[in-house]
Amino acid sequence: MYDKERLKSSECNVDVNCPRGEKWQDVKRSVVRIFFDNGYLCSGTILNNTLNNEIPYLLTANHCISTQESAANAIFGFNYEAPYCDAPSYEYPGVSSNRLVGATLKATKDDAEGKLDFTLLELNQTIPEQFNVHFAGWSASKKAPRSVAGIHHPGGDVKKIAIDYDGLIVGTFSNEYDKNSFWRVIEWDVGVTEGGSSGSALFNERKQVLGDLTGGEATCDYPFNDFYSRFDFAYDKYEDSSQQLKYWLDPAELDVKSWYGLPFDEIYDSLKVFVYPNPAHRRIQVYGPLLSGIIKIKLYDTNGLLVWDTELLATDRILFVDVPSNIIGLHYIRLESDNSVIKKKIVFY
């Protein structure tokens, strides 16, 4: 029955599989089409957590889903996208494929104390491996990034991408919401949003979620003034676990303000250390709550030959490592501290 719900968005919207979406091919797999039997449509995003254990958390807007009843009846569609740029609609996948039904409401905020336009759900089913989902990273930074992208299902259409190269400003969508709890996109440079895009994520340059779409004025003729509910407000402004994201997204209690997407190679082992990004271009980050003091770093090629080494001081549980540009391809990184040795695979390009 849902194959009848093929809807088309405005002409200025850009397929995520067009050249403009080339650098967003990993995080696009986190974007979900939300459908209700009454025809109501929204978008959402699957999020990672600090245990990297693939709990199917989904972020959307409070104005999309605010009750357990609506969460239980929602239909979540994955991988609904054009197979290539500007593909005709008859080549689109069926909207009834790659879908899951029902979720449990974990957190939202809408009461006399305050209102934020976010909702965190946990899907009632494990996401099948064949869906090839990406668990998006996120950032609770209060600093506006230089450029952003939104990936969404406008009007229930296949995934589209909107891009703003000029940065965000803080704003207030309306008086019913907490003051300054929104990121405002002043003008889209690529694409726009529309009905059905609500709840979709705004990503920073590091492909981390910054917020979810509430609404705005943007159209193809007037691509201005869209508002996204800020992730940093939803993360920990309110202390109750049912009114914040942090309790759910930081189960390892690392007290971090940002996290990365999943999958990436060699993620989170028993020593709680990971290397990111992977593949990498020169600079890598090594993170772990037990990481401290002088760390010896050694890179070996696939023949086991040492090709580069250095020593760095770990501060705030993180290392930034700049690798020589002549190191290309698969290597093994060895991290040595006073009390542990960690080995991981990493690819440089």
CATH architecture of the region 2-249: Beta Barrel (2.40)
Q: Looking at the predicted structure, is the pLDDT value of residue 159 above 60?
A: yes
Q: Looking at the predicted structure, is the pLDDT value of residue 265 above 70?
A: no
Most confident of 204-208, 238-242, 299-303, 344-348: 238-242
- Rounded to 10 degrees, the C-alpha dihedral 98/101/103/109 comes to 90
CATH 2.60.40.3980 domain locations along the chain: 264-348
For residue 312, give the 3-state DSSP assignment.
strand
CATH 2.40.10.10 domain locations along the chain: 2-249
pLDDT in tens, 170-193: 999 999 999 999 999 999 999 999
pLDDT in tens, 288-302: 766 778 889 999 987
Q: Looking at the predicted structure, is the pLDDT value of residue 285 above 70?
A: yes
Half-sphere exposure of 91 (CA within 13 A, CB side): 7
Q: Looking at the predicted structure, is the pLDDT value of residue 4 above 70?
A: no
Q: Looking at the predicted structure, is the pLDDT value of residue 5 above 50?
A: no
**Are 293 and 336 contacting, i.e. CB atoms less than 8 angstroms apart?**
no
The CATH number of domain 264-348 is 1.10.10.10:
no
- Rounded to 10 degrees, the C-alpha dihedral 113/245/74/89 comes to 120
119-123, 259-263, 294-298, 306-310: least confident range? 259-263
Q: Cβ of 240: how many Cβ atoms within 10 Å?
A: 10
pLDDT in tens, 35-93: 998 889 999 999 999 888 899 999 999 999 999 999 999 999 999 999 999 988 888 88
Which long-range CB contacts under 8 A does 80-84 form with residues at least 24 apart?
80/33, 80/153, 80/158, 80/159, 81/15, 81/16, 81/17, 81/28, 81/158, 81/159, 82/15, 82/16, 82/17, 82/158, 82/159, 83/17, 84/15, 84/17
Tell me if the pTM is above 0.85: no
Q: How confident is the model at residue 96 (pLDDT cuts 50, 70, 90)?
A: confident
